[in-house]
């Protein structure tokens, strides 16, 4: 089976996975306590007005009809109307998706830089004080809740040193990079804490391989051996974990966007859950699931780039 056939197979499986996601999220949002009609009407709510609003919003229809409207809307791009914001769900959610994607890409880029820098340093200084310091430091980052770590960064870099803003997104691209640095760093430190341990172990293991000894015996510089022969092979399992951790990264953006007041899908999801805005919650969840599946597919395809011996048979 070649690469194109493998991609087609994965895309077919993606459809079934997304179908399962729609069933689960559709059922979960409807077991949340509270009536959306009463939440929308607020102090003006009466049983009669709530019944009329349910009729308008289609909340009084049978569950299977509501589910069919939800799925058919996803396929056609018509995700319905937000119960809370009274806007088309597609416009509301898709206007926030680029912000969340920018934050996730920023965090992944920082995590890659941090992982390569500290993972290689820890491996080549195995047992020495830099190795011990890196392991202890990133163990602290791994065990620290993201919201608390974000607050620490706000207090130190934002309120004490005044280096970075503590909330918002900015208006221009340089401002976006500046405003998103602390939330991206919060996500990147926890992500890289997992990756560094794996990369360190894989580099140490690869350094003991026969082909590495042969390369050294040929007189190749140590840096060239490390980059060409060791790192390329050691990265395979780290890239796998990197892709698997993307799902946790997407979940982490919900908390981090709330802490730093970033107007992305995470902050929108929190407010929509509180307001029982079913269409918005469903749309954000399905889009997030699609992105996670897509990233995992890209990660799987990257194996053959890192190691030509990998095939898709």
pLDDT tens readout for residues 86-99: 778 778 888 888 88
pLDDT tens readout for residues 160-175: 888 888 887 877 888 8
Closest CA to 150 of 266, 21, 62, 29: 266
Look at residue 312 and tell me whether its pLDDT is greater than 60: no
pLDDT of residue 308: 58
Domain boundaries, the chain: 3-91, 97-263
pLDDT tens readout for residues 36-47: 666 666 666 666
Return the higher-pLDDT residue of 114 and 275: 114
Look at residue 299 and tell me whether its pLDDT is greater than 60: yes
Look at residue 81 and tell me whether its pLDDT is greater than 80: no
| Cα 249 from chain centre | 3
Is CATH 2.30.30.30 correct for 97-263?
no
pLDDT tens readout for residues 226-235: 666 667 777 7
Sign of the alpha-carbon torsion through 191, 193, 196, 201: negative
- Cα 306 to Cα 237: distance, rounded to the nearest angstrom: 11
Per residue, the 3-state secondary structure of the chain, as one string, reads CCHHHHHHHHHHHHHHHHHHHHHHHHHHHCCCCCCHHHHHHHHHCCHHHHHHHHHHHCCCCCHHHHHHHHHHHHHHCCCCECCCCCCEHHHHHHCCHHHHHHHHHHHHHHHHHHHHHHHHHHHHCCCCHHHHHHHHHHHHHHHCCHHHHHHHHHHHHHHHCCCCCCCCCCCCHHHHHHHCHHHHHHHHHHHHHHHHHHHHHHHHHHHCCHHHHHHHHCCCCHHHHHHHHHHHHHHHHHHHHHHHHHHHHHHHHHHHHHHCCCCCHHHHHHHHHHCCCHHHHHHHHHHHHHHHHHHHHHHHHHHHHHCCCCCCC
Average pLDDT over residues 276-304: 76
Q: pTM for this one?
A: 0.76
- Cα 59 to Cα 73: distance, rounded to the nearest angstrom: 15
Residue with tokens 């109307």: 81
pLDDT of residue 70: 75
Please provide the average confidence, as pLDDT, over all residues in the chain.
77
The two structure tokens encoding residue 119: 């993972």
Average pLDDT over residues 211-227: 65
Degrees to nearest 5, angle at CA 140 with 138 and 265: 85
pLDDT of residue 229: 63
């Amino acid at each position: 089976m070649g690469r194109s056939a493998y991609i087609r197979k994965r895309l077919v499986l993606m459809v079934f996975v997304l179908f399962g996601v729609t069933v689960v999220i559709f059922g979960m949002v409807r077991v949340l306590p509270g009536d959306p009609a009463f939440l929308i009407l607020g102090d003006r709510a009466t049983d009669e007005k709530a019944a009329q609003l349910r009729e308008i919003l289609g909340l009084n229809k049978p569950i299977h009809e509501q589910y069919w409207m939800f799925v058919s809307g996803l396929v056609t791009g018509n995700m319905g109307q937000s119960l809370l914001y009274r806007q088309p769900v597609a416009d509301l959610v898709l206007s926030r998706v680029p912000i969340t994607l920018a934050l996730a890409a920023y965090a992944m880029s920082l995590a890659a830089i941090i992982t390569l820098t500290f993972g290689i340093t820890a491996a080549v200084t195995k047992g020495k004080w830099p190795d011990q310091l890196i392991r202890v430091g990133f163990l602290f980052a791994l065990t620290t809740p993201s919201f608390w770590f974000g607050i620490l960064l706000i207090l130190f870099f934002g309120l004490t040193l005044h280096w970075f803003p503590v909330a918002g997104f900015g208006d221009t691209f340089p401002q976006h990079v500046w405003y998103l640095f602390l939330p991206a760093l919060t996500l990147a430190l926890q992500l890289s804490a997992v990756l560094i341990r794996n990369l360190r172990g894989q580099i140490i293991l690869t350094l003991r391989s026969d082909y590495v000894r042969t390369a050294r015996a040929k007189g190749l510089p140590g840096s060239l051996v490390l980059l060409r022969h060791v790192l390329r092979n050691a990265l395979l399992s780290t890239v796998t974990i990197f892709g698997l951790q993307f799902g946790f990264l997407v979940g982490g953006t919900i908390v981090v966007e709330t802490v730093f007041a970033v107007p992305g899908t995470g902050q929108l999801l929190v407010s929509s859950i509180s307001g029982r805005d079913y269409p918005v919650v469903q749309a954000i969840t399905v889009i997030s699931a699609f992105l996670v599946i897509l990233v995992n597919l890209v990660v799987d395809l990257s194996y053959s780039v890192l190691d030509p011996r990998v095939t898709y048979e």
